[in-house]
Amino acid sequence: MTNKVNKKIDFKQEVIAYLLLIVGSALFAVGDVMFVNPYMMAPGGTYGLSNVFNTLWPWKISLYAICMDIPLLIIGTIILGPKFGVKTIISTILIFAFTYILEATWGYAPVIHDGAIEATRLNDAMVEIGSNGGFFTPDYFLNTMVAGLIYGVAIGMIFRSGATSGGSDIISMILHKYTKISLGTLVTIVDGCITLSTLIAFGDIRLPIYSILIIVIEGKVIDLVVDGMKSYKTAFIVTDHMEEVRNYVLNDLHRGGTCITVEGLYNGVERKMIYVTMERADFVKLRANLRLLDPAAFVNVIDSSEIMGKGFKALPTE
């Protein structure tokens, strides 16, 4: 009976994962074709570089990207081993397909612009729409906000499905293997070079700045999608009134914790330290009442991005 229940749960989780993968891939294509490309921005990745190529030498973004993604996946598998998994390959194919369909049906017209799109005249306030010959008055800031939001939700959903972004990240992973520079630093360098290519190609300082802003917004939204809206605080409370603090945590906050015996470094006096993790709202209550419980308490508080275990997020099954 237990095995049947587990199989049902696993099947349901896989269905949800693939739905997230499909929707995330579709949203990524929407963000790139309808928001990023019309403004000639390149927020990293193979699709960012494809946007630059598409504007300089008109050819479909999807075709440029897939011509880079497939060799990168093959080279990455040869050098790094089969780390990418089936879902990353499916994600690569889905993003290509959705992008190709949008290019064929929607074109490269912007969704956000100030005033009607015109194809007959050009002045200093107007920007050409890629390869289709139209012009529009841009609203860079609003478009950047929306593009970052869409990208963040899309990539967050792809990550939650169990896939990885692949693409230019594979270059960073290969460089990391041979240079031992941190992966985060290499990702920043690779995406930074792609972002700066807009300045070299188009000579407009606004483009890399807005592209970087998209990356920043995208990163924050990815964290929200992957980790959820809840914010946790972890408190280390060194106190001589352990029972009072313990009772407050257990009975008023309804939280568990860990009590540890510690020794002061300066005079070697033994004291108790309570280690407890809670939601932000509970921490506000603890902070407000801690002075009444022990005015001499020493508290160290840190932000916790992810908490797993009983009372919090369930531990992963795999």
Which of the 8 DSSP states describes residue 316? P
Query: What is the pLDDT, as a whole number, of residue 279?
Result: 80
Supply angle C-alpha 119, 120, 124, rounded to 5: 90
* Cα–Cα distance list, 317 to 17, 45, 232, 278, 308 (Å): 14, 31, 22, 23, 12
Q: By mean pLDDT, which of 17-21, 29-33, 157-161 is the weakest?
A: 157-161
In sequence order, the 6+-apart residues with CB closer than 8 A to the CB of 238 are 262, 271, 272, 273, 297, 298, 299
- Split at pLDDT 50, 70, 90, the class of 224 is confident
Query: What domains lie within the chain, and their CATH numbers?
Result: 2-227 (no CATH), 232-304 (3.30.70.120)
Query: What is the pLDDT, as a whole number, of residue 122?
Result: 36
Mean pLDDT (the chain) is 81
Query: What is the pLDDT, as a whole number, of residue 295?
Result: 85
pLDDT at residue 264 is higher than 70: yes
The model's pLDDT over 172-198, given as tens digits with 9 standing for 90+, comes to: 778 877 887 776 677 778 888 889 888
Query: What is the pLDDT, as a whole number, of residue 299?
Result: 87
In this structure, how many other beta carbons lie within 10 angstroms of the beta carbon of residue 41?
29
Q: By mean pLDDT, which of 30-34, 262-266, 284-288, 310-314 is the weakest?
A: 310-314
- Among residues 110, 129, 308, which one has the least CA distance to residue 227? 308
Q: Give residue 132's identity as a one-letter amino acid code.
A: N
User: Do residues 144 and 210 make contact, with C-beta atoms less than 8 angstroms apart?
Assistant: yes
In sequence order, the 6+-apart residues with CB closer than 8 A to the CB of 92 are 66, 69, 70, 73, 166, 167
The model's pLDDT over 58-88, given as tens digits with 9 standing for 90+, comes to: 889 999 999 998 998 888 888 877 766 788 8
Q: By mean pLDDT, which of 143-147, 228-232, 256-260 is the weakest?
A: 228-232
User: Do residues 103 and 73 make contact, with C-beta atoms less than 8 angstroms apart?
Assistant: no
- The whole-angstrom separation of Cα 72 and Cα 53 is 18
* Cα–Cα distance list, 217 to 49, 56, 283 (Å): 19, 27, 27
In terms of C-beta density within 10 A (0-12 exposed, 13-18 middle, 19 or more buried), how is residue 124 classed?
exposed
The model's pLDDT over 119-131, given as tens digits with 9 standing for 90+, comes to: 433 344 555 555 4
Q: Is the pTM of this model over 0.75?
A: no
- The whole-angstrom separation of Cα 183 and Cα 213 is 21
User: Do residues 157 and 26 make contact, with C-beta atoms less than 8 angstroms apart?
Assistant: no
In terms of C-beta density within 10 A (0-12 exposed, 13-18 middle, 19 or more buried), how is residue 145 classed?
middle
Strands 270-279 and 258-263 come out as antiparallel
Query: What is the pLDDT, as a whole number, of residue 17?
Result: 86
Query: What is the pLDDT, as a whole number, of residue 147?
Result: 94
pLDDT at residue 254 is higher than 50: yes
pLDDT at residue 3 is higher than 50: yes
Query: What is the pLDDT, as a whole number, of residue 116?
Result: 55
- Split at pLDDT 50, 70, 90, the class of 8 is low
Q: Which of 19-23, 165-169, 267-271 has the highest mean pLDDT?
A: 19-23
For 23-75, give the DSSP string.
HHHHHHHHIIIIIIGGGT---SHHHHHHHHHHHHS-S-HHHHHHHHHHHHHHH
- The whole-angstrom separation of Cα 170 and Cα 72 is 7
